[in-house]
Chain A
Amino acid sequence: MEVIATRPKSLTNVPFTYCPGCLHGVAHRLIAEAMDELDMRNNMMGVAPVGCSVFAYEFFDCDMAEAAHGRAPAVATGMKRARPDMHVFTYQGDGDLAAIGTAEIIHAANRGENISVFFINNAIYGMTGGQMAPTTLPGMKTTTSPYGRDENDIGYPIRMCELIDTLVSPYFIERVSLLSPQDINKAKRAVKKAMQYNKEDRGFTFIEFISTCPTNWGVDPLKARDWAKENMLPFFKVGNFRDKANAGGE
Chain B
Amino acid sequence: MGEKVLMKGNEAVAEAAIRAGCRLYFAYPITPQSELIEYMAKMMPKVDGTFVQAESELAAINMVYGAAGCGKRVMTSSSSPGISLKQEGISYIAGANLPAVIVNVQRGGPGLGDIQPAQGDYFQATKGGGHGDYRVITLAPSSVQEFADMASLAFDLADKYRNPVYILSDGLLGQMMEPVEFKDAKTEKDFEELDKQHFAWCMHSNQDEPNHHHHEINSLEIDPKVLEKHVEKLGEKYNEIEKNEKRWEEYNINEENQMVCVSFGTASRVVKSAIDTLQEAGISVGLIRPITVWPYPSEAIQKALNDKVKKVMVFELNLGQMVEDVKIAVNGKLPVEFFGKVGGIVFTPEEVQEKIKENL
Which residues does A use to contact B, with CB under 8 Å? 12, 41-45, 47, 54, 57-58, 61-68, 71, 74-83, 86, 103-104, 106-107, 111
What residue in chain A is nearest B69 (Cβ atoms)? A65
Is the CB–CB distance between B64 and A42 below 8 Å? Answer: no
Is the CB–CB distance between A78 and B89 below 8 Å? Answer: no
Q: Which of B50, B62, B74 contacts A74 (CB 8 A)?
A: B62
A67 CA to B66 CA, complexed, in Å = 9
A200 CA to B68 CA, complexed, in Å = 24
CB of B23, distance to nearest CB on chain A (Å): 8
Is the CB–CB distance between B50 and A63 below 8 Å? Answer: no
Is the CB–CB distance between B67 and A57 below 8 Å? Answer: no
Please list 15 pairs of residues, one from A and one from B, whose beta carbons are closer than 8 Å in the complex, sorted by A's number.
A43-B206, A58-B216, A63-B204, A63-B214, A65-B203, A65-B217, A65-B218, A67-B62, A74-B54, A75-B63, A77-B66, A78-B63, A79-B67, A82-B67, A111-B52
A106 proximity list for chain B (CB < 8 A): 55
B65 proximity list for chain A (CB < 8 A): 65, 67-68, 71, 74-75, 78
Q: Are A66 and B70 CB-contacts (below 8 A) given A12-B214, A103-B55, A104-B59?
A: no
A42 CA to B70 CA, complexed, in Å = 15
Is the CB–CB distance between B205 and A43 below 8 Å? Answer: yes
Is the CB–CB distance between B55 and A81 below 8 Å? Answer: no
Q: Mark B178-222, 1 if CB is under 8 A from A, else 0.
A: 000000000000000000000000011111110000111111100
Is the CB–CB distance between B89 and A71 below 8 Å? Answer: yes
Is the CB–CB distance between A66 and B62 below 8 Å? Answer: no
A74 proximity list for chain B (CB < 8 A): 54, 58-60, 62-63, 65-66
A62 CA to B70 CA, complexed, in Å = 13
Which residues does B use to contact A, with CB under 8 Å? 24, 26, 50, 52, 54-56, 58-60, 62-72, 74, 88-89, 92, 96, 203-209, 214-220
Is the CB–CB distance between A76 and B207 below 8 Å? Answer: no
Q: Which of A42, A67, A77 contacts B207 (CB 8 A)?
A: A42
Is the CB–CB distance between B66 and A42 below 8 Å? Answer: no
A58 proximity list for chain B (CB < 8 A): 216
What residue in chain B is nearest A79 (Cβ atoms)? B66
Q: Which of A63, A68, A82, A83 contacts B92 (CB 8 A)?
A: A68
A65 CA to B24 CA, complexed, in Å = 18
What residue in chain B is nearest A12 (Cβ atoms)? B214
Is the CB–CB distance between A78 and B56 below 8 Å? Answer: no
CB of B96, distance to nearest CB on chain A (Å): 8
A64 CA to B70 CA, complexed, in Å = 10
Is the CB–CB distance between B62 and A71 below 8 Å? Answer: yes
Q: Which of B50, B62, B209, B219 contacts A81 (CB 8 A)?
A: B50
A44 CA to B204 CA, complexed, in Å = 8
A42 proximity list for chain B (CB < 8 A): 205-209
CB of A104, distance to nearest CB on chain B (Å): 5
Q: Which of B66, B207, B209 contacts A75 (CB 8 A)?
A: B66
Is the CB–CB distance between B203 and A104 below 8 Å? Answer: no
What residue in chain A is nearest B202 (Cβ atoms)? A63
Q: Which of A77, A79, A81 contacts B203 (CB 8 A)?
A: A79
